[in-house]
Amino acid sequence: MARIGFIGLGNMGGGMAANLAKGGHDVRAFDLSQDALDKAKAAGCLPVESASAAADGAEAIVTMLPAGKHVAQVYEDSLFGAATPGTLLLDCSTIDVDTAKKVAEAAAAKGLAAVDAPVSGGIAAAAAGTLTFMVGGPADAFARAEPILTLMGKAVIHAGSSGAGQAAKICNNMLLGATMVATCEAFLLARKLGLDPQTFFDISSVSSGQSWSMTSYCPLPGVGPETPADRDYQGGFAAGLMLKDLKLAVQAASDANASVPMGAEAMALYQAFANGGRAGLDFSGIIRMLNGEQ
Ligand code: NAD
């Protein structure tokens, strides 16, 4: 049993911290929200009054925060002062590659080990402990992170050096955003051309147009496996979070001088969808906008 600090007990972090406690660890949990702290307590964690208190005496500290600015702030203001040298920092938030590299460098300068370990899988996977972790950082830090991440996920993959986990995450989600838009378009066109959507699914899901967006996350209700489309696009992966990830990908592409026209187009479409007040809907709900529905 290790003492583990956990900061950021929201939709994702709440379930993840609970799984570390279930795995037998002494989890010192902190969030700005009292409600999140109460839930963490009920799940077997020990709520503490600050991020520094969560870091104090911990062998490892997990952060699951909204964006890069929150991670940089918590690292600078709390963790760097309170964590003892040798402590392992695991940032599981989805943030920009640049900040991920900078905080890892700053951590190393303080004698701390750090990995970026963003996740694939949503709130249900966080609660069930079936996330996929893509990890960036030195091999020795990865070796220490792996048993901790395994308690929260079904797959833990070393992507490379610091920032490589975030790079894998945003490239994956850029691909997902673009294939979802393309899958929606294809279904709408197929229907306008007189094809039955189920028949098109049966054909395309075993043909070269196949993708995860088609076979596992079909954007039309009543077609394929059960998905958020069957729940009126409630739950699932919010379009606002997809937009966040696409913005990170397009920014990273600009910094790296890479051409991502499909990613940029997907970002513009999700921005329009969010501007229409639909950022909270599942990202497959963009089919409604493409179909001209209000
Ligand atoms: P969330 O908004 O539900 O949770 C974030 C939590 O961080 C909140 O409870 C907030 O109070 C807390 N917080 C913010 N600043 C803090 C601070 N300074 N100190 C302590 N706590 C602080 O967000 P989420 O859905 O849990 O997402 C967390 C991260 O995971 C994001 O980076 C997101 O992009 C990523 N992610 C989310 C999903 C998803 O489906 N929700 C999937 C994959 C990755």
| pLDDT tens, residue by residue, 149-195 | 999 999 999 999 999 999 999 999 999 999 999 999 999 999 999 99
Q: What are phi and psi of 119, to 5 degrees?
A: -120, 155
Q: Do residues 154 and 187 share a domain?
A: no
pLDDT digits (tens, 9 = 90+) for 112-138: 999 999 999 888 899 999 999 999 999
C-alpha span between 119 and 169 (Å, rounded): 7
Whole-prediction pTM value?
0.94
Q: Measure 191 CA to ligand 1 centroid, in angstroms.
A: 38
Q: Do residues 225 and 137 share a domain?
A: no
Choose the final residue of a domain: 161, 183, 200: 161
> Predicted confidence band at 1 (pLDDT cuts at 50, 70, 90)?
confident
Known catalytic residue: 102?
no
State the CATH number of the domain containing residue 247. 1.10.1040.10
**What is the count of structural domains for the chain?**
2
Give me the domain span that covers residue 214: 167-290
Q: Measure 8 CA to ligand 1 centroid, in angstroms.
A: 6
State the CATH number of the domain containing residue 81. 3.40.50.720
Q: CA torsion 263→218→284→156, rounded to 10°?
A: -70
Q: Do residues 203 and 225 share a domain?
A: yes
Q: Measure 64 CA to ligand 1 centroid, in angstroms.
A: 5
Q: Is the pLDDT of residue 210 over 90?
A: yes
Q: Is the pLDDT of residue 293 over 80?
A: yes
Active-site residue (options: 169, 192, 244, 247)? 169
Pocket of ligand 1 (CB under 6 A): 7-13, 30-33, 36, 51, 64-66, 70, 74, 93-94, 119, 122-123, 237, 241, 244
C-alpha span between 13 and 268 (Å, rounded): 29
pLDDT digits (tens, 9 = 90+) for 264-279: 999 999 999 999 999 9
Q: Do residues 276 and 191 share a domain?
A: yes
